[in-house]
Amino acid sequence: MKITFGRIAAVSAVALAAAGFAATGTAQSAPAKGSKIENAYICVFNPGLVAKGNVTAEAARSAKAAGGAVGFTYKNTIRGFSVNASAQGVSKMQANNPRIAYCEQDQIMTADGKPGGSAGKPGGGSAPAESTPWGVTRVGGGLSGSTATAWVIDSGIDYTHPDLNVDTARSRSFTRESDGDDANGHGTHVAGTIAAIKGNGIGVVGVAPGTKVVAVKVLTRQGSGSNSGVIAGVEYAADNHSNGDVANMSLGGGFSQALNTAVEAAAGQGLKFALAAGNESTSATTKSPASANGNNIYTISSFTKTNDSWSSFSNYGNPPVDFAEPGSAIPSTYKDGGYATLSGTSMASPHAAGLLLLGAIRSGGTVNGDPDGNPDTIGIN
């Protein structure tokens, strides 16, 4: 990921946590995307056999039978729970409990930024003068007026960034970190593309400027988290959204039926989702939540500024990909009140989220060079 900053005191070799990768020097990389988490599972009940009001009690009994402990419980998207227990314990629990439809091993989830490059550290100095990023212009964004909320399911959002309207009261963390404030930068970048303020004279302009953004932190300052925590974040957004709200998920891992089902259930409750297709240059059907499909779900691939050309890192395939959006060299807000230019389907997805906040997405042509031979439609306002 190539990163440049609007407020720069110095550039140093720090962890490229925004994408779960390391820069040079002494920085350590985050765990690999999609890698399995030992002794951690997500178990899903058959909803016809476990009522919503019985999930907590049934989860506790099931975890005890597995010799483990309950992590999260889920009631309104999937009905189930996460559990820390051995593989043998979980297998025994399943065999003796017909109410459990399936269990899958928990896995590492990371931000869908493009790997590579180095990170800078914002410092003193003034913010850059306001400008509209090329991607916002290309999709016809920068229009105020949305009264809905963007739920940014990511690494958090910089609570005090002067270019963002952050709803801190509703922001939450589903990681070991205590609140939704962003110590990574990725989530703040996503939030800025969606909703950076227009007319304040500084920084950048979002697709739906000034829209209220809520931090749903599921990735830590290292840029990684657990699938079980991501599902908890999806459930939180689903439980608290209002009509017209949009959730953005610029993250991913390996395929997860539990996560896909949770997203599809939340979308069925009226919450719209913009999902990054992923950056492995492969079929998006192999990744979650990118492979989730259904009404109110939009999986987003990436293209460049030059001739609407395909971003070489982007995953592809329709279904599940619905639209392509600008994702290469995207300037936006960043942690510590700063600004950065990042690339990835992480940067493409929030363009779609902003468009959904403004209304329906319409066709603005097609990308050039889509590797699946079926060019994705460019989504615009």
Query: Which residues are known catalytic residues?
Result: 154, 186, 346
Find residue 248's DSSP bridge partners: 152, 274
Contact 204, 192 (CB under 8 A): yes
- Phi, psi for residue 173 in degrees, rounded to 5: -115, 135
**Chain centroid, CA 62 distance in Å:** 30
d(CA 105, CA 89): 13
d(CA 151, CA 274): 10
Q: Which of 92, 16, 50 is nearest to 340 (CA)?
A: 16
**And the tokens for 79?**
């009905």
d(CA 111, CA 153): 10
Q: Are strands 212-217 and 172-173 parallel, antiparallel or unpaired?
A: parallel
Which residues, at least 6 apart from 106, have a Cβ–Cβ distance to it below 8 Å? 36, 37, 40, 41, 42, 82, 226, 227, 228
| Structure-token match 């593309």, residue found | 193
Q: Give the three-state DSSP class for 93.
A: helix
d(CA 292, CA 320): 7
Torsion of CA 223, 224, 228, 230, to 10 degrees: 30
Q: Where are the alpha helices (DSSP H) in the chain?
A: 55-65, 87-95, 134-138, 186-195, 227-240, 257-268, 345-358
The DSSP code for 360 is -
Q: Are strands 321-326 and 297-303 parallel, antiparallel or unpaired?
A: parallel
